[in-house]
Structure 1
Amino acid sequence: MPGDDRGLVACVLTLNEERRIGRAIGSLTGAVDRVVVVDSESTDRTCAIAQAAGAAVVRRAFTGYADQRNWALGEIASRFGGRWIFTMDADEWLSGELHRELAAFDPRQCAADVVLVRRRTRFAGRVLRHGGFGEIWLARLVRAGATRYEDRGVNEHLVIPRDARVSRMHGWLEHGDVDSWTAYIDKHNRYSTLEAQARLAGQQGGRGPSVLGAWRDPTLRRRFLRQRVYERLPARPALRFLTSYFALGGFLDGRAGFDRALFEAWQELCIDLKADELRRRGP
C-alpha cells in the first residue's frame, strides 16, 4: 500500500539509549507509517537523535514497565491515530525480511487481532541458535484496543485474549548484542530484583497463567511451565545451566553459548537469593 496511511504506528520505549535508538528507528523507516518514541526522561541525546531520525517523541516519567507500555498503547491510539501498533525495544531492529513484511502489511486484508513475530538474540558477537534462545515468538503487532500488557514488574508481555485471532510474520526481529559488560550486568542485576519481586508476588497471591491461556500464547506457555514446574524444582541455577547448555544444545553456539548459559545460571541465583531476602523481610 505505498503512499497509504494504514494507521500502522511503531512504539519504542527508551531511557538513555543514544547508542542504539538510531538503529532501531532506521530499521522501522519505510515499514510503518510513523514511529513514536516514549521516553522515560532520558538525560543523554536519545530524544534529539530520535527526532532527527524522524520519530515523534513523547516524554513521560517512568512508572513501571507494564504501566508505561499500556499508557503508550493508549496514547498512540488516541493521539497518533494508531489503529495498528508495532512495539519494539531500543535494542531491537527489523531484519530485511521482517521490514518487507511490515511494509506490505495491509490492515484491510488482515483478519487477525494479534500478529506474532519471532526474535533471535545476539550475544558476545554471535547469533544464538540454541540453548533456548534460537527462536522466540512474541506478540508485537496488535490491533489497537485488542490487548494490554500484563501487570508485571519485569519481562512483561502482551497477553492474547481468548477470543483474539492470531497470525504470524516470519521475518526475524533482531535482539541486540552486549555493548558494555558493565552496563549489561548492571541492567540484569536490576532485572533480577524485579523478577524476584514478581516471582514472590505470584507465589503469594497470583495463580499465574491458565492452561488455556498457555496453550494459545507462546509467552504464557513458557511462563506456565516456569511457574508450575520449574520454580518448584531444587537447585535451579545448576539446572538452568545444564538445561541451556546441554539439553537445549547451547554448546553448539561455542563460547557464546557457554557464557550465556553461565550468565543465565547466575541470573537465576540472584533471583533466588533476592526472593529469599524478600520473604525474610515480610510484606
Structure 2
Amino acid sequence: MPAGVSVVIITRNAASTLQRTLDAVQCFDDVVVYDNGSSDDTMHIASGYSNVSLHEGDFLGFGPTKRFAVSLAKHDWILSLDADEAPSEELIEAIASWCPSAASNDLGQIRRENWMMGRPVRYSGWGKDWLVRLFNRRCHNFNDAMVHESILLSETSRLQRLSGIIEHTAVTDLSQFLEKINRYSSLRAESGKLKHYPAAIVFLKAIFAFLRTYVLQHGWLDGWRGLVISVSNANGVFWKYMKQSVRNHP
C-alpha cells in the first residue's frame, strides 16, 4: 500500500469507466471522488468502495475543480487520475517506494498509455504522453486553466520519471470525440483567453492542426485512428475560435 498518498478523481457521467479506475486503486487508503452533476450510475459505483470519500459540487473548469478536489484529500501527496484511467501495478509499487523519501518539491512524472477502441495509439500526439500526476500539495497544485490543466511548477520543482504507466481508456465510442469537441471548445471560448481571428485565419489554423497531427506527429501510422484524431483536433481548433468569435461579435 502506498502510505500517505491520496488519489483524487473528478467525475461526471463516468459510469462506463469508473469501476475499472477504482478497482485499480483499492490499495490506497484515501480516494477522493468529486462529482460534478452525474446523471448516470457514477455516484452509486463510487459509494460501493470503502476507501472512497464521495463529494458533490459545481464544475468550475478543469484546473480550479481539480484544485478544489485536492483540498478534500486526507494526505499531502496526491495522485491525480481521471475517471477513465488506471495505474499499473508497477506504477503503484514505484509510488510506494518513491514517496517516503521524496521532498515536498519533488514531482512524479508518469507515462500515460492512451487506448482508442481496443488498441493503444502510438503516434498522433498520443504516444509519448508524460504527465505530472504525483505531487505534494504543500508545494504544488493545478493551475487555473479551464481545459488542458497542468501542475504549476516553480524554480525549485524537481521532476522524477516513475516506472509503470497510467492506462487511459481514452475512447470507447467515436461519438465521444464529438461530445469532447463541443464541451472543450465551449469552455475555451468562454474563458476569454483566446485571441480573435478572422474566419479565414481560423480555417487555416484548423488545417494546420490536422496536418500537424496527421503528418508531423505521424498520425497516418495509426491508421483510421490517426485520421479520426487528426480531424478531431482540427475541429476542436475551428470550433473554439468560431464560438468565441460569435460570442464576442454576434
Report the TM-score, using the length of structure 2 for normalisation: 0.87
Question: Which of the numbers 169, 180, 194 marks the counterpart of 2:173?
Answer: 180
| Residue number in structure 2 paired with 1:265 | 234
**What is the aligned partner in structure 1 of residue 99 from structure 2?**
107
Task: Name whichever structure is richer in strand by fraction.
Answer: 2
1:182–1:233 distance in 2 versus 1, CA, 3 Å: closer
TM-superposed deviation, 1:60: 1.9
- Establish whether residue 201 from structure 1 lines up as the match of residue 198 from structure 2: no
Conserved 8 A contact 2:108-2:133? yes
Which of 64, 71, 86 is residue 68 of structure 2 equivalent to?
71
Residue in 2 that maps onto 1:242:
211
Once the 2 structures are TM-superposed, how far is the Cα of residue 184 of structure 1 from its aligned partner? 3.9
Is the aligned partner of 1:36 residue 2:17? no
Aligned residues: 244
Partner Cα distance (1:63, 1:144) in 2:
19
Instruction: Specify the alignment match of 1:190 in structure 2.
Output: 183
Shift of 1:11: 0.6
The unaligned stretches of length 5 or more in structure 1 are 205-231
Could you tell me whether the CA contact under 8 Å between 2:32 and 2:72 is conserved in 1?
Answer: no
Please point out which of 123, 129, 142 is paired with 1:130. Answer: 123
Out of 99, 113, 117, the position equivalent to 2:110 is: 117
Instruction: Choose between structure 1 and 2: higher helix proportion.
Output: 1
Q: Match for 1:119: what amino acid? A: R
Distance verdict in 2 for CA 1:193–1:66, change over 3 Å: same
Give the counterpart letter for 2:113 in structure 1.
R
Q: Which deviations, in whole Å up to 9, do the C-alpha atoms of 1:17-56 show, x marking residues without a partner?
A: 11111111111222x3321211123232212211213322
Indicate the percent of aligned positions where both proteins have the same amino acid. 27
Q: SS of the residue aligned with 2:16? A: coil
CA contact (8 A) 1:66 1:150 kept: yes
Q: CA RMSD in A?
A: 2.3
For structure 2, the residue ranges without an aligned partner over 5 or more in a row are none
On the 8 A contact 2:63/2:149 being kept in 1, the answer is yes
Distance in 2 of aligned mates of 1:132 and 1:233: 21
Which of 112-121 and 11-20 deviates more?
A: 112-121
